[in-house]
Each structure stands twice: as C-alpha cells, then as structure tokens.
Structure 1
Amino acid sequence: MIQLRTMQLDDVSHGYRLSQQVKWPHRQEDWAQALSLGEGLVAETEKGIVGCAVIWPWEGQHSTLGLVIVDPSCQGQGIGKKLMEGLLEKVPNSNVRLHATEMGKGLYEKYGFRVQRPIFQHQTTQLPVIAARQLSVDEKIRPLCEHELSSLIDNDYQSHGMLRPALWQNLFNSADALLVLEKSGSITGYMVIRKFGRGTVIGPMLAQDEDSAQTLFCHGASQLVGQFLRLDTYGNTPFSNWLVEQGLPCIDAPLIMVKGIPWQRAEQAMQDFSLMSQAMG
C-alpha cells in the first residue's frame, strides 16, 4: 500500500538517497535548500520511502514542480502519479511549470501540461581559460547591495512570471557571489555564482541583452578556470550556441512544460539567461 505524507527536513537524506540511485548530482545541501523554499511529499510503502516530489508555490499565480523521483525498483506501481496528483492539489489555481524528460512527457501531458521549449544543460568538468571582458569606462561589475533586492525580485518576476522573494533572500545569504553589471549608473544584469551538485553553477542570471549576459558570464568564468561549471539556459538560442563555443557543451535537454497559461515576457523586461535549477526554474 502506498501512503503519501508531507516531506520533512529529516527526509532530506532519503531524497538524496533516491537522487543518487538515478544518478542526479544533488548534494544533501541542495535538497535542504530546495525543500526550505517549497513543499514536498514522500511516498511510503512497507519498504520505507520509495518516492518524493517537491512543488514551489511562488507568490502570485505561478508555481514550479520538480525533484520527482521514484525508486527504480518500485517504478510502474503508480507512485509517480500519486505524487503528481498530491502536489497539484496544493496549487489548484496556479499555472505550473516543470522540466520533463522525453520519457516523462507523456505522463505530464495527461495532467494538462504542454511542451513550451527545451532547456539545455551546459557543463564541463574542467572549464577552459575564459578571459574577463574589458569593461568600458561607464561599466562596472560589483556585488548586489541588500537594498537592491526588491528591484532584482521584480526584474526576475517580469522575466518569467515567478515572484520569488524567499529564493533571492536565500541566495543573497548563501551564494558565493551575487553580482550586478552596471552601465552608466543603471543595472543591466544580475548573476549568481554558487555551489551545486558536482561543482559550481552560474545561475540564476538575468540581463537586459545577450551582450550583458556574456559579459557577466565571462567575469564569473574567468575566476573558475579548471573547475566543474554548469549553466542551464534556454535551448536553440544564440546564447546557448555561444556557451558551446566557450567550452560548455550541452549534455542534456529537458523540456519546459506548463499547465495553465504560459508567461508572456514584455519586450522591455530582462531575460533569464540562466536558471536557478531544472527543478525550480
């Protein structure tokens, strides 16, 4: 018999164990951070915890759903369906986004999710030398000040519809760096550098244009030569192609799927050039 219950902080070790079984890169610290920002369910049988999933009901009308895992030895028993249904019940009026494998696409379509576009996972185990760009006299890259968080949160929301103040406060306190690109006194981009999985992730990253995103990336990457680096971005774009040229090949391409109304970014809004994670968006 399968029983669902709320995922507690003490269950993080079980989420980590399950993710290790399916060869996901998450550390226990990554699980703890993810659960602290969302709500999770675990599935239990007489064998113990055999599945889990998490949803992030961001402020407003947009949520993300992810970290859906079922013990490989228990697949085919409807556990994934129960976890999905349990989480979707928590956000009945929300537009929900997730990132699906080709294998999982059919299941999610049954719940009303529709494919939007691919996400490309770019990474390298040993980052080649990437030089920081020479900034013009009216440009600088500097740490974000805490009083600027509210503007960042709004720019993040305008880019994809997810209002995430708790996430950004968490990143301000925990990331290795949270930087801004400033041009003529105006901020044209934001970049987070943080530990995740097998090494370092650049993301989330927001920018007014691709040139600003490239400038921020090169600044961060110039300090990470020889290290493991990952960045998740929208696939089949000039920025994604440029990352390949910098030595970060695409190693995976999950699909963004949305249940409800997809967000329409205004033309003047910043773009999200790199995600927090495939689970959280």
Structure 2
Amino acid sequence: MASLPDNRLQLRPMSDHDVAAVHALSKAEQWPHRSEDLSSMLALGSGLVAEMGGKIVATTMWWPCGEDMTSLGIVIVARTHRGAGLGRIIMEAALERIGDRSVILNATEDGLPLYRKLGFNGISEILQHQGASFSAPLVPLEAGERIRPLGASDDERVDALVEAATGLHRPEAIAALLVKGHGLVLDREGELTGFALFRRFGRGYVIGPVVAPDLERAKALIAQWLGMRSGEFTRLDIVGGTKLGEWLENLGIIRVGRVVTMVRGRAPVPTGNLRSFAIASQALC
C-alpha cells in the first residue's frame, strides 16, 4: 500500500457532516451533484475521506451490488493537492475495506492511468448526453404491449430486470431511486419486459436506468419521459454500443462526455435477453 505523504494526512469514514465539503470538491470538478444527491448516495453505501490540516482533500464512496460485487465512485482529489499520490492512497484504502469483492467503476480520462495500475480493466463505455427536447416522437409498440406507470407491486420484477440486464443485484439502489423519482414500465400482457426511471438530479432531470429488450423499445420508454417533460433539461448516461446516441442527438440531447467502465476482478454477467441502455449515474454504475 502506498505510504502517507506526511503525518498530517488522516483517512476516516465519510459521514453526513462531510457532505458539504464533498459537494464543494464535486462542484470544483464541474460535476452536477447536489448536496442531496450525495447524501442519498452515502446512505446507500460507505465512503472515505482524506483529511489534511482539518480540510477534506480526497474522497470516495462505494456500494454493494450483491454478495460478490461492489460499485465505486465519487473519487475526487482536491486540485490543490494533486501530484502527491492521494488518489492512490484513498483508492487502496477503499479497496482494502471492500475486500475480495469485484469492483466496478466509471473512469474519467484523468483517472484511467491510476485505475489500470490498481488492476482495473476496461469493459465498456458510458456516453453522457444532455439537453432539452421539444419534439420527442411516439415510438410504436407491438400488439399487446403498453407503457404504464410503475406500480407498487412491480418493485421486485424491476429488480429482477436490473439483475438480468446488468448482472448487478441493486434492490436497495432502485428502491432509493424510486423514492426520489418515478418509473415507467413496458408491459406485455402482464409481463414486465422493460422500464425507465426518471428523477431530479443536478441542474435538471435524469432518465435512467433504462432496461429494454431492444433499441426500439428503449426509445419508446425514453420518448415517453421526454414527451412528458418537453423543454426540460434532461441527462442520460447511455451504455456504449446501444446505438441510442444518434437518435438522442436528433432530439436535442447531445453528447457531452465519455467515461470508461472498468472492473477489478470478475466482470458482472448479464443473463437473459434484456439489455441495459442507460445507467442510473456514473457514480452508482
């Protein structure tokens, strides 16, 4: 494990009292998280802060995804303290606490060299799209299919769809997202075959996660939300290779960024025929 640069640096668990300082670091990176977004994420998992001279100078959080997988995010080093190895120190400390579980994260270009040194390998990419759509078309469905609001009895079925499409067990995260937002489901004669969640986040709204059997049904779910929120600033973090990007661009939801999805250990394995088209957030995966 990397050595501490000097005896002024202390690592400790992140608490609710640290959220304001973490939010300030996030804003300095021009990340969109509100304080309430960070509080909600911390409530779902664990976090570490590195403190120097009474000031938080580095952070990270992580969240369990079943018995053998963890997602990790909110890795920030204050700009005034870069180059001293703090990113490696706090990451190694987090990985030590996570233990033998595999770890998945979304890496910015700046973070790629460090994560590779720590044993992470790229497995896919996430493309950030955002903007305001004023003319989302209705996408036709097949006979017997309809899009309806997610009901209270749908929760367990949505959890199963998430696990089938991503290989990640996320019932607590999905439940927390639904407390903050709303859901639409794709219903085929009583069988749930897809869904899209919608919630307040950052400077506007986020659509995600989005799970569907194919591209056209993913478009249908997303178009429903865009149509109901015409002209509202909306963000989607879409999975690379889904071919959603050009369609979103034509609707005014333009691509503004890219991160690399990386894993240390075993990569999650989706099952069945469903596919993840958009994730909840780059931090949560």
- TM normalised by structure 1 equals 0.94
What's 1:148 paired with?
154
Give aligned-pair identity as a percent: 36
**1:187 Cα deviation after fit:** 1.5
| Change beyond 3 A, Cα 1:10–1:157 | same
Unaligned runs of 5+ in 2: 1-7
Whole-angstrom CA distance in 2 between matches of 1:43 and 1:10 = 14
What's 2:273 paired with?
269
**1:173 Cα deviation after fit:** 2.0
| Partner secondary structure for residue 222 of structure 1 | helix
Candidates 238, 255, 258, aligned match of 2:260: 255
Candidates 145, 163, 183, aligned match of 2:188: 183
Assess if the C-alpha contact under 8 Å between 1:171 and 1:178 holds in 2.
no
Tell me if 1:25 matches 2:32.
Answer: yes
Q: How many residues align?
A: 278
Whole-angstrom CA distance in 1 between matches of 2:218 and 2:26 = 31
Deviations 1:224-248 (A, max 9, x none): 1111110001124322332222221
Whole-angstrom CA distance in 2 between matches of 1:62 and 1:246 = 36
Tell me if 1:279 matches 2:283.
Answer: yes
Would you identify which runs of 4 or more consecutive aligned residues in structure 1 move more than 6 Å? none
- TM normalised by structure 2 equals 0.93
Deviations 1:56-109 (A, max 9, x none): 122221111100111101111221111101111122211111111122111001
Tell me if 1:209 matches 2:214.
Answer: yes
- Give the partner amino acid of 1:198: R
Q: How does 1:95-244 map to 2 (within 5 A)?
A: 95-124=102-131, 126-134=132-140, 138-175=144-181, 177-244=182-249
| Partner secondary structure for residue 90 of structure 1 | helix
